[in-house]
A and B are shown apart, each in its own frame.
Chain A
Amino acid sequence: MAVPKNTKRLISNTFKNYKFGFKTNVKTVFSTPKGLTKEIVTSISTKKNEPKWMLEFRLKALEIFNKKPMPKWGGDLTKINFENLHYYIKSQNKTQTSWNNVDPQIKKAFETLGIPEAEKKFLQGVSAQFESEVIYESVQKSLSQKGVIFMSTDEALKQHPKLLKEYFGKIVPANDNKFAALNSAVWSGGTFIYIPKNVHVDLPLQAYFRMNAKNMGQFERTLIIADEGSSVHYIEGCTAPSHSSNSLHSAVVEIIAKKGAKVTYTTLQDWSHNIYNLVTKRSFVYEKAQMFWVDCNMGSKLTMKYPAIFLLGEHARGEIHSLAFAGKDQHQDSGGKIIHGAPNTSSLITSKSISKDGGRATYRGLLKANKGASGVKSKVNCDALILDDKSRSDTYPTMKIEEDDLELEHEATVSKISEDQLFYLTSRGISEEEASSMIVNGFAEPITKHLPMEYAVELNRLLEMEMTGSVG
């Protein structure tokens, strides 16, 4: 028995309408010409009044970028034209701490995205990046009084040069990969967070990234340091207008979770379908610390992103929860990497992917236990749902083991919506529409349950609404 036609139609409506494709008309304050040269990199650094070491860091990274070949694995990167991009665009002179001072057009864009409203309701700090610069940032006074630092990385370079010099580029060095090198050369914006010892940030801190211009590259750089015994939840969201030509988003995220700290990093990636999203994210996790990546990839043309966790202290724990939707002309090449570098560390990877309308969802992962990492426990689960015969699903998990005293489990399955489940639900009087929407929601649930309530509700509603074919 094949899946009923009606169900197929409903499914094909899922994720069809991209809600955030609006464009904002705003004057540019400063923009580098198209292309990538030593002069352009230098002009970005000069414009930002950066210390000499940062300019040197950038120029060295540019050399590395030019030397490194394009990766040949993963998605199709051949259509990226590095000469046809603007690497730095500034739309506002100064980062504002009140929405009233933000350019009205930009403010309107973020209002449409619901950021100021969310800030009032359930966030303790917000940073908003438009093109290359952070245009708004604010953190609750109670937090700054405790010594929490939450600001753009550019601002942090001015105000906390010592911390930056100590940690910047140490987790993800410029020569890590071609796109980390590119980011290191032209980075701008992003978030810097420092949580002092034993401080717990109860509500999430959020950063929102918006790309508006055509043919641009956004290269934010985020650095999070959670000192001993502290905890923080950081959420990032990203959207862009649907232009006909392609743009590039290439971020680097570095996280340090010191002894006993807990860091949760949640991404809701919903770029328009003309964006190449090539991101390097990595965390160093020390003794008894915990790191959680919750990674939801719904947008972009091609995403290549594998959040990594290095478990470097005893009893450290790492979890990666990854959800990917690949629709028409989309390729989500995502996954996660966990390296067990210390004894008695544990980890969990859960990956769920859905592909439809010719989309391609790829899970690519690495699980490594270094020699000496005894008593390691790890579990990897990847499930894929293929909704039609035009779509494709791949799974490439790698396991490298140099230790005998460990427990490792891996499992992967690929399936379609089960007819038995559909039959069971419809026999209970549930309409086929509702049933298939329930099944897709249920499939995604192990990931969405890790989102803060407000986001989980939003994501589920998005799924449901579009499953019933109505426009939201």
Chain B
Amino acid sequence: MVLDCKHVWEQISDYIDGTVPQELREVVETHLAHCRHCAAVLDSTRNILVLVADERTFELPVGYSERLHARLQVELEK
């Protein structure tokens, strides 16, 4: 089986999650080994997701936890 670039892109998310079935995974990897464009799409996507997942990207507002528990405490004391 040979995949074109479009079909490789359709597998990229599952590939990143490691959920592509073994046989298809091997075909995808063969394509990636020979297609610098798809390899760059995979690498950039994976890199961006690592950056997005970093706690520095999405920080909680300062004092959020304190305000949440203060509000909860008011309710608990009713």
Do A and B actually bind? no
Chain B residues packing against A (C-beta within 8 Å):
none
